[in-house]
Amino acid sequence: MASSQRRLGDLAALTQGSLVGDADAAIERVASVDEADERSLTFAVDERWLARALRSRAPAVLAPSGAAQSDADRNGKTLILVPNVRAALAQILASFAPLLPRGEFTHPTALVEEGVNRGPRVWIGPHVIVCAGATIAADCTLLAGVYLGRGARLGARTLLHPHAMVLDDCIVGEDCVLNASCVIGSDGFGFVRVGAEQIKIPQIGNVVIGDRVEIGACTTVDRAVTGSTTIGNGTKIDNLVQVAHNVSIGEETAICAQTGIAGSTKIGSNCVIAGQVGIAGHLEVGDGTVIGASAKVISSWPAGSHLSGDYAQPHRKNIQQQVLLRKLPKLFAQVRDLAQAIDDSRKPR
């Protein structure tokens, strides 16, 4: 069997799924329904997608438990049945992902200053700079062009993609992933006006990131004025997000691309913030809050809120207003006709 191939029986075991069909059949890749061919495993997250998957060219389908299992119903395809298709898909894709470099290594073009506290099996790629006083725990990987500032700390098994930066005195926990060109610990945007001049307020705090955090490409997390900008365990932040100074984000929160969070705002745990959301400074957003795309949040909200709208408000209220707005042209026409009728009734006959 070619190294790129996977037995379906092995994939079922990997995901702890139930296999219906040929356990010895092999696939070479995972593909969406539209891109699947005779060498693909495809996947279906619900009944609608399952119907399409069973009509696809793929010989095998990753499907929800309880999917049709008879030969006729499954159209001759092998099924791997799992309770959570997305979670199982993540496991399978991980088995196909190229291995990242691991183990003890320092590229000859890297600059590692004296006084670095370096754990075992740390891999340091080309043109990496690690400044004096930095700490790199065991099994970390620093890919090309990474910068680790003075006194910065990386927890065990953390991965920094090319050109990621962790600046002076900032702390990143264990099992984190910092994607390409993200910046941890850039100066917060703090100035005070003295007459016509803007005077910079020194940003002398740091950033503290918990364990199992992933931060997307070109995202910036600013250091605090004093104290720490903090991101809790398990939080995931997409590309091109701005987290300003002294922001606090709780655990297991998800923040999508192009969101901006202004200074000193507190975001709770288990929140979901969709793309292009803007959150003003010095606010509190409670645990479990969901904020729809492009919302502007200008006031604090309690735990469990579901917000949307140009100026964020409860989602149901926003939808009701949108329905009414669509009725305004008709209402305007009715009011205009009534006004015309009143004017006509007042004319001398």
Active site residues: 245
Residue 133 CA from chain centroid, whole number: 31
- Residue entry with tokens 């010095």: 282
58/43 Cα distance (integer angstroms)? 10
Q: Which amino acid is at 66?
A: G
95/97 Cα distance (integer angstroms)? 6
3-class SS of residue 48: helix
Q: Which amino acid is at 172?
A: V
Packing angle, helices 8-15 and 85-96, rounded to 10 = 120
Count, residues in the chain: 349
Tokens of 339: 């006004």
**Residue 32: which residues within 8 A CB-CB, separation 6 or more?**
42, 43
251/230 Cα distance (integer angstroms)? 10
**Residue 295: which residues within 8 A CB-CB, separation 6 or more?**
274, 277, 278, 307, 308, 309, 310, 311, 312
133/246 Cα distance (integer angstroms)? 24
